[in-house]
Amino acid sequence: MPGTSERPEPFAVMQPVPEARSWAENVAARLWMLQTSFADDPPNARHEYLVEEIERSIKDIVESRRSEYLAALMERFPGPERIDAPYFKPPPVEKVERSAQEVADELLVRLPELSREAKVVLAQKLQALGFIVSPSKGIELPLELLGKLGMTPKEALDEERLTKLFTALLELVVTLDHLIWNVWKNMAPKSSVRRDQSSDNLRRTVGRYLSGDREVATLQITQMLDKTRQLTAGLLSAVGPAGEIFARKYLEKFAPEKIRAVVESKSPGFIAGVEQKCWRRYVELAAELSGHAVETQIVEGIVAYTEELISRSEIRGR
């Protein structure tokens, strides 16, 4: 992950404090995990994931201290693998006298930049000054979902907590989505169970959906998540029977009665001769057995079991 040769001056002179080093250690660990999990993704995509992780982690740091925290992170990547992170430096404050009308006009233009929470606070302040502001209707969850959560329609939702919960769940789903499809691609590169190319970036597709993009339908989001759910459930369900599947295939070749039946069908003779031939046959079969062969058989068993579960699920859905 190459970076530019020039480094902002604060990185070169500032000595990170212990808190900054500890923060940098944790962020670096998550960056290495992302780099490993998405090793098969294009370099540009991986670079975006890493920069997004840095930007998300630095948000909780006050602006005046971001330079030393980023400097500590840069120490963790001193060589060619250094990750370029956005350099956070407060813009210079220009003292410009503006009229109240100019300030009000700018506020109206920049209102879309405010978060929902900031807009509620602003509305409360304007209402306190005597302005008429329509109250927020809030967010209403479907009755079915409220029942699953053990809530009633009379209970008010905490919108701030709802936003934080959505953020945490989205990060979990996106990470799991990338991981499970990468694992499947390595295990079954020729499988017919594949995700749509248009669904490769779940995070951005969800973003387009939430912003009201009419080209992203609710059904598309539902199908994307459902395919990931089916694959995850299939792989996890196949872990249990994997040993039994391998054992069954192993015994089909190496069980004494199987070997004896094959030998006797080819060259019937005296018992002693048959015993020797059985042993020679076992030695021949054992020569084909290796760690790679065992791994291949186990993976093939998991893939076949997963594909069967997904196929049955799709048939029931239709």
* Tens digit of each residue's pLDDT (9 = 90 or more) over 91-115: 454 566 778 888 888 888 888 888 8
Query: For residues 318 and 238, is the Cβ–Cβ distance under 8 A?
Result: no
Q: Per the domain annotation, does 135 fall within a domain?
A: no
Residue 109 structure tokens? 């233009």
Of 27, 45, 75, the position where a domain reaches its end is 75
Residue 16 structure tokens? 């990170």
Return the pLDDT at 113.
86
d(CA 270, CA 266): 13
Q: Per the domain annotation, does 266 fall within a domain?
A: yes
Is a pLDDT exceeding 80 seen at residue 271? Answer: no
Chain-centre distance for alpha carbon 260: 51
> What pTM was estimated for this model as a whole?
0.45
d(CA 70, CA 57): 10
Q: Quote the number of domains for the chain.
A: 2
Range of the domain at 23: 9-75
Q: Per the domain annotation, does 71 fall within a domain?
A: yes
Summarize pLDDT for 240-268 with one digit per residue, the tens: 777 777 777 777 777 787 777 877 777 65
Summarize pLDDT for 290-299 with one digit per residue, the tens: 777 778 878 8
> Do 177 and 308 reside in the same domain of the chain?
yes
> Do 183 and 306 reside in the same domain of the chain?
yes
Q: Per the domain annotation, does 283 fall within a domain?
A: yes
Residue 187 structure tokens? 């295990």
Q: Per the domain annotation, does 102 fall within a domain?
A: no
d(CA 178, CA 192): 18
Of 53, 75, 97, the position where a domain reaches its end is 75
d(CA 229, CA 223): 10
User: What percent of the chain lies above the pLDDT cut of 90?
Assistant: 3
> Do 169 and 309 reside in the same domain of the chain?
yes
Of 75, 110, 130, the position where a domain reaches its end is 75
Q: Per the domain annotation, does 309 fall within a domain?
A: yes
d(CA 318, CA 314): 6
